[in-house]
Amino acid sequence: MARKLPPVYPNLAAEMTRDNVSREDIARVVGKTSECVGGWITGKSGEFPISGAIAVQATFWPTIPMRELFKRVEPEAEEVAA
């Protein structure tokens, strides 16, 4: 069974949970699949693209500064290795 990776954008993940915004909701805004969005959130598929981040912030959380919402936190080495 695959382990769930922690988000590298924990503030974004917290706001999604708090406001009941799904990966599918974000995918519709950025024009990608929910799997692609999930890869960005966990860091598995690289960085969240700036154009997508701007669209997400403007659509769902316009009062939260971009730097705060998309603050990237690298996973601990043991989390990556597991």
Cβ-in-10-Å burial (0-12, 13-18, 19+) of 16 comes to: buried
Q: What is the pLDDT of residue 67?
A: 96
When mean pLDDT is compared across 14-18, 20-24, 61-65, 74-78, the lowest value belongs to 74-78
User: At 77, is the pLDDT very low, low, confident or very high (cuts 50, 70, 90)?
Assistant: low
Q: What is the pLDDT of residue 63?
A: 98
Nearest CA-CA partner of 73 in 18, 12, 2 = 12
